């Protein structure tokens, strides 16, 4: 059944609000995915604080235009879904890329990062980035490495002193 103008306006407003809150987005061609697979993808994305949205392309184009996001109209020649990242900017790219490796029916078409369109190859590169927690762990490890080295050097001097004193004690006995 066709949507009324009011319903379409409401859908645009919801989409508008989602785009405003989103940190990034991934546009995918989901045609060929079975309902069970789509629900599996939705669950995976929901756990990562990602909103998976299937909306009419004309409404998506209107919402993107409202936000001043320039897009390639050829992306919207076929039905598409958009995954909006509400938390980690890289989460939708990473999760959809992993899902696409198992399910050939889904194809990454492009994305939105910092209110600019990016192509599918850039989305794939984003998917390869580590998570924020992994980056924080690497940073802590990098900061702690010199301190750990200094502790080992200082402990080495103490170990050497203990060994000399132990050898002296053995010699005395």
Taking only the tens place, the pLDDT of each residue in 127-173 is 888 888 888 898 888 888 888 877 777 787 778 888 888 888 888 76
pLDDT at res. 163: 86
Q: For residue 79, give every residue at least 6 positions away whose Cβ sits within 8 Å of its Cβ, in sequence order, or none.
A: 29, 30, 31, 54, 57
Q: What is the pLDDT of residue 69?
A: 86
Do the strands 81-85 and 107-113 form a parallel or antiparallel pair, or are they unpaired?
unpaired
Supply the pLDDT for residue 32: 85
CATH number of 5-129: 3.30.70.1730
Cβ contacts of residue 24 below 8 Å, gap of 6+? 84, 85, 89, 90, 92, 93, 111, 112, 113, 114, 126
Task: Answer whether 58's CB lies under 8 Å from 113's CB.
Answer: no
Query: Which pLDDT score is estimated for 36?
Result: 92
Pairing of β 24-29 and β 50-54: unpaired
Task: Please report where in the chains the tokens 């010199």 appear, as a residue.
Answer: 146
Q: What average pLDDT does the chain have?
A: 86
User: CB neighbours (10 Å) of residue 89?
Assistant: 17
pLDDT tens-digit map of 91-105:
899 999 999 899 888
Spell out the domain ranges in the chain: 5-129, 130-173
Element (H, E) at 29: strand 24-29
pLDDT the model gives residue 84: 92
pLDDT for the residue 1: 61
Q: What per-residue confidence (pLDDT) applies to 173?
A: 67
Phi, psi of 131 (to 5 degrees): -70, 165
Its sign, for the CA torsion 70, 75, 81, 85, is negative
């Amino acid at each position: 059944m066709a949507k009324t103008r009011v319903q379409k306006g409401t859908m645009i407003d919801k989409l508008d609000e989602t785009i405003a809150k989103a940190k990034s987005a991934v546009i995918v061609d989901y045609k060929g995915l079975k309902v069970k697979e789509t629900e599996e993808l939705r669950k995976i994305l929901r756990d990562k604080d990602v909103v998976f949205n299937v909306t009419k392309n004309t409404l998506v184009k209107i919402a993107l235009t409202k936000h001043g996001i320039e897009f390639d109209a050829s992306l919207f020649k076929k039905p598409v879904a958009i995954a909006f990242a509400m938390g980690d900017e890289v989460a939708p790219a990473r999760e959809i890329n992993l899902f696409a490796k198992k399910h050939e029916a889904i194809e990454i078409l492009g994305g939105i990062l910092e209110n600019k369109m990016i192509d599918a190859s850039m989305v794939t590169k984003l998917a390869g980035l580590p998570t924020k927690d992994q980056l924080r762990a690497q940073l802590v490890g990098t900061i702690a490495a010199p301190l750990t080295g200094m502790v080992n050097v200082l402990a080495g001097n103490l170990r050497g002193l203990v060994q000399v004193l132990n050898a002296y004690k053995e010699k005395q006995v």
